Chains A and B, each alone.
Chain A
Amino acid sequence: MNVLDSLYVYRRFLGVSIRAQMQYKASFFMQLGGRLIITAGEFMAILVLFDRFDSLIGWNVYQVAFIYGIVNISFAVADALTTGFDLFGDMVKSGDFDRILTRPRSTALQLAGQELTLRRISRLTPGLLALTWATMNLELNWTVANVGLLMVSVAGGASLFAGLIVLQATLAFWTTETLEMMNTMTYGGVETTQYPINIYRPWFRNLFTFGIPLATVSYFPALAIMGVPDPLGTPLWFQYVAPLIGIGFLLMSLQVWRIGVRHYLSTGS
């Protein structure tokens, strides 16, 4: 009941945000068009890159594109849904966060609902193109389990990226400096895990498996769906449950967020 009610309010928030963006239709479509051109350009660059290497340490182009697609779709979804957290540093400075605290809803829910930036959805294009291209060329066995696993890994991936963005926003409770380090982790994470992680040195792939577990929502489930045994030797069951780690990561980030809110309440800044 409570969860349903929160989801309902969240949906209402998003509806309001979308209608607000539609107040400036011309500007919206021009920006969306611009973004689409940019992201299509990015995808072309990837194709050129893939064209150079027929295979990447045992991976064929389509397999790489499949992983690339999952990571980029996950990030695009998280990025569009967490704009409110991106703007959070400014809200603390301007005092608008106080307004959020005077409403009888969780702060995370209100921030998540603050804005759904539609034009950011254009970032879905390269991921979707890559995934479509890959599935057309890979002989995939679309069982119910595999379709489910693909959906769970995108959900887990989006949760994980959202968790990173929440953690980044949480730091604004302590410092007003811009946090380039966190951006490095988010964007760097996308750049790194869009390729199969077994191509990296052990410490680096361990970082993205155990530290910031981005590989658990892309590389491992992708292997299971493609039916490729892991060169790193992980068992199949692990590849199936790995994406859940992304959801766990988001829940943990929200706990850290709560600590941040408590800190804000006691310092007022």
Chain B
Amino acid sequence: MPQIVVEDLVKRFRISERDAGMWGAVRGLVRRRYQTVTALDGVSFSIEPGELVGYVGPNGAGKSTTVKVMSGILVPDSGRCEILGRVPWRSRNEHVGELGVVFGQRTQLWWDLPVIESFDLLRDIYRIPRGEYIANRDEFISILDIGGLLDVPVRQLSLGQRMRCDLAAALLHSPALLFLDEPTIGMDAVSKLAFREFIKRFNEERGTTVILTTHDMDDIEAICDRVMIISDGKILSDGTLDDLRRQVTLERRLVVDLDGDELPVVHPEAVVSSRNGHRVNIRFDPERVSATELISHVTSHNRVRDIFVENLPIEEVIAQIYRDQRG
């Protein structure tokens, strides 16, 4: 049975418009004009327990609106949303008790206090049984390597350090679901890697469902089994990364480093797309010529120093999906 069922969600916002200048402000008091913006225009999906789902889309596409509805902090105009058999906004307290939420730009820790005090307070807020709290806390402290940060006031932490502490804080109550809203924004490379590894591991060990919104496609590639793409309030695509690539193009790339300067001999079914010194980029369609056949053809006809097959970068795949939709 799916853990999350979202069916035909629609959400419109009324934004009041105001004319410029003092006259505009006065007129705005008397008569307000509103503009209606459709944030969600019939969004449907379902998610099984333990899935790792990436949720991507341009700014203003409806990502955060969807996450807010699923977090119980926004009521849609129409449509159905059931999580663990509950309607999030009708039983908010019960629902959010099963939920961990990490907002990249905002911390949930108490700014002026040592990290450990925030953890202790969260234990009381979430009514976490003592044994469970201690086990979780100690485990996260060791995996996320935050033992040295516990007595430091949050305001003194670097962004990467703070995010690791925030992640631990969001999971202390062993939530069934974890929502990560642009968690890696502004993080350094080492922190990002540690973060991704932790999410993968946590999901494997505990079976926690993870929904991740991000603009960093490396996050998606590293963490997610499944990607949903939203644009203008509609789901454009929903499937594995490979499905997504196939939806856009079957084309793949072969990168060849030649030993000499002579013109390369290429298979008749493949095309040289660009050449940069010794490096030659070849495009091919795996349905017409297999990678192994192409490689053996190229290596037997040229003096090759290095050779490898590349997928179309996920950024390009997604950009292509946006373009296709705009037609």
Contact = CB atoms under 8 A, between A and B. Distances in A.
A98 B96 contact: no
A143 interface: no
A19 B113 contact: yes
Given A104-B93, A104-B125, A99 B106 contact: yes
Interface string A221-239: 0000000000000000000
A105 B125 contact: yes
Interface in B59-104: 65, 68, 71-75, 89, 92-94, 96-97, 99, 101, 103
Given A96-B106, A267-B13, A102 B112 contact: no
Contact of A265 (B74, B93, B127): B74
B73 A105 contact: no
A53 B98 CA distance: 64
B92 A101 contact: yes
A94 B97 CA distance: 23
Contacts of B96: 101-104
Kindly name the residue among A9, A19, A95, A265 whose own CB sees the greatest number of chain B CB atoms within 10 A. Answer: A265
A104 B122 CA distance: 10
B262 interface: no
A102 B126 CA distance: 11
Interface residues of B, number: 31
Interface residues of A, number: 26
A266 interface: yes
Kindly name the residue among B94, B111, B117 whose own CB sees the greatest number of chain A CB atoms within 10 A. Answer: B117
Contact of A16 (B99, B117, B126): B117
A206 B224 CA distance: 66
B121 A13 contact: yes
B179 to A, nearest CB: 9
A8 B127 CA distance: 11
A98 B71 CA distance: 9
Given A23-B112, A268-B68, A98 B124 contact: no
Given A13-B121, A23-B153, A105 B93 contact: yes
A23 B93 CA distance: 32
Nearest to B14: A267
A123 to B, nearest CB: 23
A23 B112 CA distance: 7
A5 B108 CA distance: 22
A20 B125 contact: no
A25 interface: no
B113 A16 contact: yes
Interface of B: 13-14, 65, 68, 71-75, 89, 92-94, 96-97, 99, 101, 103, 106, 108, 110-113, 117, 121, 124-127, 153
Which 3 residue pairs are nearest across A and B when measured between Cβ atoms? A20-B112, A104-B97, A101-B73
Interface of A: 5, 8-9, 12-13, 16, 19-21, 23-24, 95-96, 98-99, 101-106, 265-269
30 contacts: A9-B125, A12-B121, A13-B121, A16-B113, A16-B121, A19-B113, A20-B110, A20-B112, A21-B112, A23-B153, A98-B73, A98-B103, A99-B106, A101-B96, A102-B71, A102-B73, A103-B96, A103-B125, A104-B96, A104-B126, A105-B93, A105-B125, A106-B93, A265-B73, A265-B75, A265-B89, A266-B74, A266-B75, A268-B65, A268-B73
